[in-house]
Amino acid sequence: GKIVLPAAERFIQHEGQGAQLPRQASPHAHSVNVDPSGKRAYVADLGLDKVLIYKLDAAAGTIAPSDPPFLKL
């Protein structure tokens, strides 16, 4: 599937650090995968050791943290 959102309407900056310093001293998102329904995006963040989950609304062009907001690795 393909998600098309308006250009840079929202910028999300992850915060925090992982347990393995200095390698995980800051966030480092390295992939984004959208589920087949197009309603959720999963962002793997190596620096946080988490997969963050976002709700997508392509019609409204919005993205927001899901509940729960992440999966801990």
DSSP tag of 73: -
pTM: 0.75
pLDDT-based confidence at residue 27 (cuts at 50, 70, 90): confident
Q: What rounded mean pLDDT belongs to the chain?
A: 82
Does residue 32 register a pLDDT over 80? yes
Residue predicted with more confidence, 11 or 66: 66
The answer to whether the beta carbons of residues 39 and 63 sit under 8 Å apart is no
Query: Which pLDDT value is given to residue 53?
Result: 96
50 class by beta-carbon count within 10 Å (0-12 exposed, 13-18 middle, 19+ buried): buried
